[in-house]
Amino acid sequence: MPRLLQISSSVWQSRPHSMKLSLIQNSNRFDAATHEAGTPRYFPSLTGLRAIAAFMVYFHHYGIPVSLTLGSAAVVGIVREMHTGVSVFYVLSGFLIYYRYAKRASVSWSFYRDYLVNRLARIYPMYFLVVALGSIYALTQGKTAGIVLRDFILQVTFIRGFSDLYKFIGVAQGWSLTVEEVFYFVFPVAMLASRRLGMLTALFGTYLIGGALLSVGTAINFQGFFVGIRFVALYTFFGRAAEFFVGMFVAKAFMSGKIRPPLQRVPALTICGCLGMLGSLYGLSCLVGPGYSLGVFSPGGMVINNLIVPVCVGVFISGLLVERSWIRAFLASRLMELLGKSSYVFYLIHLGVFYELTSRLISQNYWVLFTLINVYAVLMYLFIEHPANNWIKRVCASQASRSDREARLCVLNGVEAVQKQDSRTESQAIGSC
């Protein structure tokens, strides 16, 4: 029997950590939306907020009709700074990732496997499709095959987002997905560091890493990778980490019960968040000047964009979580919820081949284009993105279950073989007597 335990233990130790977890604990596969009973798993108003964030980026790129500006230069300036919709996305990502994964996150293969499958299944299929279509379109517009292939590889690998030279190639807005993907990969480490050292310390450490990458990139000066303070501050995770950490902080506070419904009926958090965001947009617009086509490019603008805007968004999200207001009711409406679910597709296609072909072949009317891009986004979400997401999760879950079954059989077969060997040895010993 001691030999049996020794050999079976060696067989067990040779198994990967994820397989051992399954065999010991018989735990269920991680579900991103699973929480204790009574804890909300889905926030319709936050889904609607995603649509607003995507529309802000659209207005930043295309402006708004003159009739809506009321002849005010201030309104025009505020609209031009609505790139802050990206900040809204990042704070939301920090909140939702922490809220869904914090209680089970760990730096282990078993967690990373399920976690990254869920994240990549959400982001990658539609991004790959849009990049592929954009590359084909680029070939029809006279770009050489070599350049198109280079740009395609840089895009689908997300490498483009680390270079100031290549960040806007192809699907230009795709630079922001590199920031998002880096957050996905470092989240377990960032969360564990936040638990042990505090979020501010973890955030400061992230900035130190960004500073080190900036120093190395500037010294090497290769193809724009991590070159320039403006690039690192505005276009990389290491400059924009505060946006994600603010979202994580709000999630942590909400989960611990520190964000509570107000005693009064006035939605103070919602109002303060809205006013803060509007004030930040106005402040950015006031910083436009010589050398700064947008206020965010100025040193003060970087501070507003990377630190003040996220805090205001965090306050606003806190209000949506616990306060009743017509804003929350509007964002949680079925229309806004649908537009929010399709907002990722909208964000991917609002610049590039879909917009260009629509404006060339159908209409150049502002509202017609805006409506059609939304229609495309909803249809692509319903018939491509959502089904592809579910299919990838099913396939990966099936493969993971098969691996666990094989591991279990391997251990059982090893134990059985040892038992037979020990039985044979015992019989031989008896016979010799």
Per-residue pLDDT tens digits for 418-427: 455 655 555 5
Q: What is the pLDDT of residue 21?
A: 40
Domain count, the chain: 1
User: Each residue of 188-218: pLDDT tens digit?
Assistant: 999 989 999 999 999 999 999 999 999 999 9
Q: How confident is the model at residue 30 (pLDDT cuts 50, 70, 90)?
A: very low
327-367 pLDDT, tens digit each: 999 999 999 999 999 999 999 999 999 999 999 999 999 99
pTM here?
0.84
Examine residue 10 and state whether it is found in any structural domain, yes or no.
no
The residue-averaged pLDDT of 302-324 equals 97
- Picking from 46, 45, 52, 48, the residue whose alpha carbon sits closest to that of residue 82 is 52
349 part of a folded domain = yes
Structural domain including 234 reads 25-420
CA-CA distance, 255 to 252, in Å (whole number)? 5
**117 pLDDT tier (thresholds 50, 70, 90):** confident
Per-residue pLDDT band at 116 (split at 50, 70, 90): confident
Q: Is residue 396 part of a domain?
A: yes
Distance CA 124, CA 130 (A): 10
Q: Does residue 146 belong to any structural domain of this protein?
A: yes
Label residues 81-110 b or e (16+ Cβ within 10 Å = b): bbbbbbbbbbbbbbbbbbbbbbebbeeeeb
Is residue 384 in a domain? yes
Residue 49 counted as domain residue:
yes
CA angle 237, 376, 126 (to 5 degrees): 40
Domain for residue 285, yes or no?
Answer: yes
Domain assignment present for residue 431? The answer is no
pLDDT confidence of 80, banded at 50, 70, 90? very high
pLDDT exceeds 50 at position 6: no
**Residue 427: per-residue pLDDT:** 54
